Structure 1
């Protein structure tokens, strides 16, 4: 059962005496309370400050709406695995604004403290061995995949998720800032921030959904990651800033299936601050801006890359022979209008066993490339720091 307990305290401000000419004003109370349990009907939370207790599941037929400007706080110290999970058939409506974002955070401000926002749909995937369904890797073990390309999981606008990326006790199940399992094109994902999580900022597990205006800041693993044949076609304005700890700017794979489709992303900025190391230390060699592996592919246009200057790093890494043969040589990877602002090499193979050569026109550079173009506001500012560096 979901429960919302409103604060009963009201701060009243009385101006002057009680004469007929005096004005009286009241500061309205800010609702507080707890969000917990399963949501099976339509529930709305007004602007307020709430606590997230455990894994809140929006079930098939249920919906959750939280109004702009609200803050929802998880608490790792109580021992529960906090997360907000939308099951297939559930709807999540988080429509903040640039001035009043909806913020999900954690009481201790410690990366990896909770599970972030997880959404499931029934849009198509291509899993291992070409399977059309798979089991989630978030510890919930839910089946995802289907044939509903237009799946609609709701609308997320101007939402910031802080300190997520919880790693579960089995040491293999992980959560991200935002996890999208077979989410479809009917879902709206705009102006989202994944801030200082202990895993990926954004991860797509198949599906057809597209996104615009994403910020991945200070996440320990990859800024953007996907698998299972994700094929969003209208993605734009992705911005990543890796600082202190971070692996790839973008990790791209397709479960070793040579798909006849691919995602399209325009206007990308990938930045890495000086001194940033990978999760396993620099020797782990996950320090490239973009990695393609296991038949990952896609078209990427207007890309700015800077700061990936660790010895041996490159802007674009092809990790295996199959990806090089089927995706690079096959014309299914296009890197267009790339601008590298330092001495990082353009692209390279994993090792000397094969050579990467893009077909003419499939890897181009430009000195006028702008990368992501985002407008800052309260949605992109944390503790007085503008995340758009």
Structure 2
């Protein structure tokens, strides 16, 4: 029989349970811990399976799941981030997350100050293939964790996230200069499930994929400062659907797409995309050209169907497009070979209708028409998409 030992010494897994003003720390000499919601503080490394039930918790510091452990979070669990230190949740290549909420009881990561950039967000590392710069099959992460990512298992499984909401992320971690996104996926494999996720008011991208093969369904990027959706290193998810971005206040591209200059890549596929830019939304930097709905560069590819775009207007001398191609190599190798497709497309309340934009002199500019009417994405209403009483799906109505 496995025994659990209580000690006042710090071990790898630390769960601070406040009890009569004392802190009891739990040794990692067990297989599974079921944590009850009584002022529980989570910090350090998780090297054994652990379950968080419905209730309120605090997440402090950079929490890492590793050593074959699975972090399980049940519906209705809320983690308030301790912003007195740099905090984030990192699932390493040898760890898993099993965070399954529901439409009425989502799993929420938030902060008490409700300030964009309060913490580092959620980062997952998988074992799927990547193509980094120069075709490298591994690369050093950009998030300050200094982790090499990339593998050879396209179907690797990093776990499941359903009905999870991440609020006010994007804080610089590690070296103090590398920004994190609200949700970041490094070489995550197709065996991983990502469904019904919300990224809310982060200071970097809502979602970023660094290679890998994972797909995502029913995801919302709302009010994020940089790009709503971003990928590089030849991410190639094939079963993506129902992506919704609402840019408001501060926001760059709706989608920023590249393949780290690798011409030979597998184009990801996404059906049903809605990108809406609210009035008076400005890019992070003044006079920035990063105001188009979808940008392709550095051999980035994508096969997109049923795309609804609205609100992308010129700002000053900068022009906004539904689709912007940044370099001739991407046009030659990807646009002209059918690995960049955005069709059918409905483009409303926006400037430059009927043409693609080019940041150079194109070799045969592309046009498009709205002959097929595309409607907005349909997502289930409920608490999962409601923040501080505000329904994030209002723009879809």
Instruction: Name the TM-score, length of structure 1 as normaliser.
Output: 0.90
The residue number in structure 1 matching 2:297 is 293
The CA deviation at 1:168 is 4.0
Q: Are the structure 2 counterparts of residues 37 and 30 from structure 1 closer, same or farther at C-alpha, using a change threshold of 3 Å?
A: closer
The CA deviation at 1:172 is 4.0
Q: Secondary structure at the match of 2:60?
A: strand
CA distance in 2, matches of 1:294, 1:347: 21
CA distance in 2, matches of 1:3, 1:171: 25
Q: Deviations over 1:22-42 (max 9, x none)?
A: xxxxxxx95331111101111
Instruction: Give unmatched runs, 5+ long, in structure 2.
Output: 1-11, 21-35
Please report the RMSD computed on the Cα atoms of aligned residues, expressed in angstroms.
Answer: 1.7
CA distance in 1, matches of 2:202, 2:355: 28
- Pair 1:147-2:152 in alignment: yes
CA distance in 1, matches of 2:174, 2:326: 30
Q: 2:358 aligns with which of 350, 359, 364?
A: 350
What pairs up with 1:301-312 in 2 under 5 angstroms? Answer: 301-311=305-315, 312=319
Q: Secondary structure at the match of 2:179?
A: coil
The CA deviation at 1:4 is 3.3
Q: Is the 8 A contact 1:317 1:347 kept in 2?
A: no
- Pair 1:370-2:370 in alignment: no
Which range is displaced more, 327-336 or 339-348? 339-348
The residue number in structure 1 matching 2:54 is 47
The residue number in structure 2 matching 1:57 is 64
Q: Secondary structure at the match of 2:160?
A: strand
Q: Are the structure 2 counterparts of residues 226 and 347 from structure 1 closer, same or farther at C-alpha, using a change threshold of 3 Å?
A: farther
Q: 1:316 aligns with which of 295, 312, 323?
A: 323
Q: Are the structure 2 counterparts of residues 343 and 63 from structure 1 closer, same or farther at C-alpha, using a change threshold of 3 Å?
A: closer
Q: Secondary structure at the match of 1:126?
A: coil
CA distance in 2, matches of 1:233, 1:288: 24
Which range is displaced more, 302-311 or 336-345? 336-345
- Pair 1:2-2:13 in alignment: yes
Q: Is the 8 A contact 1:182 1:205 kept in 2?
A: yes
- Pair 1:184-2:192 in alignment: no
- Pair 1:82-2:90 in alignment: no
The residue number in structure 1 matching 2:26 is none
The residue number in structure 1 matching 2:42 is 35
Q: Is the 8 A contact 2:259 2:265 kept in 1?
A: no
The residue number in structure 2 matching 1:254 is 259
- Pair 1:206-2:231 in alignment: no
CA distance in 2, matches of 1:356, 1:99: 50
Equivalences, count:
364
Q: 1:137 aligns with which of 136, 142, 148?
A: 142
CA distance in 1, matches of 2:369, 2:188: 31
What pairs up with 1:197-236 in 2 under 5 angstroms? Answer: 197-236=202-241
CA distance in 2, matches of 1:278, 1:169: 26
The residue number in structure 1 matching 2:337 is 330
The CA deviation at 1:167 is 2.4
Q: Secondary structure at the match of 1:284?
A: coil
Q: Is the 8 A contact 2:356 2:366 kept in 1?
A: no
Instruction: Name the TM-score, length of structure 2 as normaliser.
Output: 0.88
The CA deviation at 1:55 is 0.5
The CA deviation at 1:48 is 1.3
CA distance in 2, matches of 1:51, 1:118: 18
Q: Is the 8 A contact 2:144 2:174 kept in 1?
A: no
The residue number in structure 2 matching 1:385 is 390
